[in-house]
Amino acid sequence: FGERSLAGLKVLVSAGPTYEDIDPVRFIGNRSSGKMGFAVAEAAAQAGAEVSLVAGPVSLATPPGVAQRIDVRSAAQMHAAVLQAAAQADIYIGAAAVGDYRPQEVATQKLKKHDGSELVLRLAENPDILASLSAQTAHPFLVGFAAETHDVASYAQGKLRHKGLDMIAANQVGGGLGFEAADNALTLYWADAAVALPRAEKSELARQLVAHVAERYRATRG
Ligand code: PMT
């Protein structure tokens, strides 16, 4: 398949952070810029796929060749958008940093400061998008990411198994790699193998990741 390794396939990519609102002016977010996921979407389009991109709140232009972009804010919105689009997708690549928790209640008015008293936020767990997809009888080929500060290999392999994924791309975050940076380094894991993709620009890593995804997809579902 070479350059057009994903020709004829529909690829869904999620990217960026989610924002979980506390009140009309505050939210809980994370450091994801969307660069990694947008690079994956661009690389998949270059490889010939029809690409849909579900993006959290980021300030990035839609990459060339991406057929459809759906902008969302919260994890609940991303969950709904991905599940709907996944019904038509052959491959889902989850590069988004989805918030694991959201405030149990969203205040309709700006919370006011009360001098000296502590403020307690109660958080509710968000549904896991990848786990929801893998629980469906017919679902796309599933590629997750794992962002870890420590014990990267064991956490990533645990997520591969627990979330029922076909492949996971693990990155160590912090120290100038992972979130926000132009460069990253990934280790890919699947059932019986691991491949290290050393430090490079996210665009280059995205091309390598897409080549491995195409190869595994053709080997297992082709
Ligand atoms: O956006 P950048 O600034 O370029 O940074 C890139 C990145 C570090 C965000 C990216 O490379 C990355 O690692 N993305 C996944 C971040 C993450 O949230 O990892 P996690 O280990 O918490 O989640 C594991 C997987 O489960 C991810 O594929 C995630 O999309 C998915 N997930 C998580 C929670 C949830 N409720 N639903 C999910 O599907």
pLDDT tens string 20-44: 999 999 999 999 999 999 999 999 9
Ligand 1 pocket mutation pick from 20, 33, 35, 98 by most atoms within 8 angstroms of CB: 98
3 pLDDT higher than 80 = no
Find the mean pLDDT for residues 152-180: 94
Task: Report the CATH number of the 2-99+120-220 domain.
Answer: 3.40.50.10300
pLDDT digit string (tens) for 201-213? 999 999 999 999 9
Ranges of each domain in the chain: 2-99+120-220
112 CA → ligand 1 middle, Å: 33
Atom of ligand 1 lying closest to residue 171 CA: 13
CA–CA gap between residue 53 and residue 75 (Å, rounded): 15
Verify whether ligand 1 is closer than 6 Å to residue 173 (CB atom).
yes
Tokens in use for 30? 């994370």
Name the residue with higher pLDDT: 176 or 156. Answer: 156
pLDDT in the model for residue 176? 78
- Evaluate: CB of 32 within 6 angstroms of ligand 1: yes
The stretch 2-27 carries a mean pLDDT of 95
Is pLDDT at 1 greater than 50 in this prediction?
no
Residues making up the binding site: 100, 110, 127-130, 145, 159, 163
Of ligand 1's listed atoms, the one at least distance from the Cα of 129 is 39
Whether 171 is a known active-site residue: answer: no
Which one of the listed residues 30, 126, 171, 184 is annotated catalytic? 30
Using a 6 Å cutoff on CB, does residue 20 contact ligand 1? Answer: no
Asked if residue 2 has pLDDT above 80, the reply is no
Cα 96 to its chain centre, rounded Å, is 3
- CB of 179 sitting under 6 A from ligand 1: yes
CA of residue 29 to ligand 1 center, whole Å: 13
Pocket test for ligand 1, best of 145, 148, 154 (most atoms within 8 A of CB): 145
Neighbours of 104 (CB within 10 A): 9
At 39-85, the pLDDT tens digits run: 999 999 999 999 999 999 999 999 999 999 999 999 999 999 999 99
Is the distance from CB of 190 to CB of 70 less than 8 angstroms? no
Instruction: Tell me, letter by letter, the H, E, C secondary structure of the chain.
Output: CHHHCCCCCEEEEEECECCEEEECCEEECCCCCCHHHHHHHHHHHHCCCEEEEEECCCCCCCCCCCCEEEECCCHHHHHHHHHHHHCCCCEEEECCECCCEEECCCCCCCCCCCCCCCCCCCEEECCCHHHHHHHCCCCCEEEEEEEECCCHHHHHHHHHHHCCCCEEEEEECECCECCCCCEEEEEEEECCEEEEEEEEEHHHHHHHHHHHHHHHHHHHCC
Ligand 1 pocket residue status of 34, Cβ below 6 Å = yes
